[in-house]
Chain A
């Protein structure tokens, strides 16, 4: 068994209204000095067996077809275990 994480983030040039809402809330709670907050998604995927190159290629395919929309988001794949 192996565990792979896929992080999906809105592209830098895409407006992130949710991140903006969080950023706006922080000073109200007394957290100062936060220049920007961007909100993304994290997928934890448990694979059968080793995270071989072939399996990771499948994870990249999952990430680019379903987990992210390449028009508005970037993704990163990493093996954690």
Chain B
């Protein structure tokens, strides 16, 4: 299995995401924002960071990077795509996922170990978890407050498209404490917290994050 990780100018967590992919048992393939080329990968991760300096809006310029034309087409064709933090923002700006992410309600950058509840374990990225399982991964963002209109929020809840929800105090003002959502088909997932920072005991809050990456490998093997 080959999982591509896109590097944009300003990406920070691309190398960590590649490492998580390898620890999960797949080959990590670096992809470049300026190429119209997915190098034949089976899945794509859009990593965290500050693509294009977060100028204009987070993810707004990255959405129009050449590689995103290919990612959007592949995602519409069913390829598993995971956007983490800035990657989630890019997926929302690309209209692959509904809603948007705005500045945290408390206006401070948050960096903490965060427990989230997996609410949908049937997406391409969450089958390794039990429904309702609580996992602790890293949350670090300044603009992680998920917003959408009430109709969209009701639709997401009704269709089970809330993938993960914050447990305990809402860390950033996200509506309905939403930490991650998926598209209708369940192949595209956006997550504000970072599973790739919780894949080894040596650093981070444990290995709870690894399941996101092993899930995709299982999904591809079964495809």
Contacts and interface: CB of A to CB of B under 8 A. Distances in A.
B60 A66 contact: yes
Given A69-B57, A72-B100, A72-B147, A15 B92 contact: no
Nearest 6 Cβ contacts at the A-B interface: A71-B100, A17-B103, A72-B100, A17-B107, A69-B100, A21-B107
Contacts of B100: 69, 71-72
Contact of A18 (B56, B93, B103, B173): B103
Kindly state the interface size class of chain B when it binds its partner. Answer: 20 to 34
Among A13, A14, A71, A72, the one with the most B-chain Cβ atoms within 10 Å of its Cβ is A71
Interface of B: 56-57, 60-61, 64, 92-93, 98-100, 102-107, 145, 147-149, 173
A71 B151 CA distance: 12
A75 to B, nearest CB: 13
Q: Chain B: interface secondary structure?
A: loop
A17 B56 contact: no
A33 B196 CA distance: 48
B147 A17 contact: no
A18 B60 CA distance: 19
A17 B99 CA distance: 17
Contact of B56 (A14, A20, A21, A66): A66
Nearest to B57: A69
A45 to B, nearest CB: 14
Given A17-B103, A72-B147, 20 more contacts: A14-B102, A14-B147, A15-B102, A15-B145, A15-B147, A15-B173, A17-B102, A17-B105, A17-B107, A21-B107, A66-B56, A66-B61, A66-B64, A69-B57, A69-B60, A69-B93, A71-B92, A71-B98, A71-B100, A71-B148
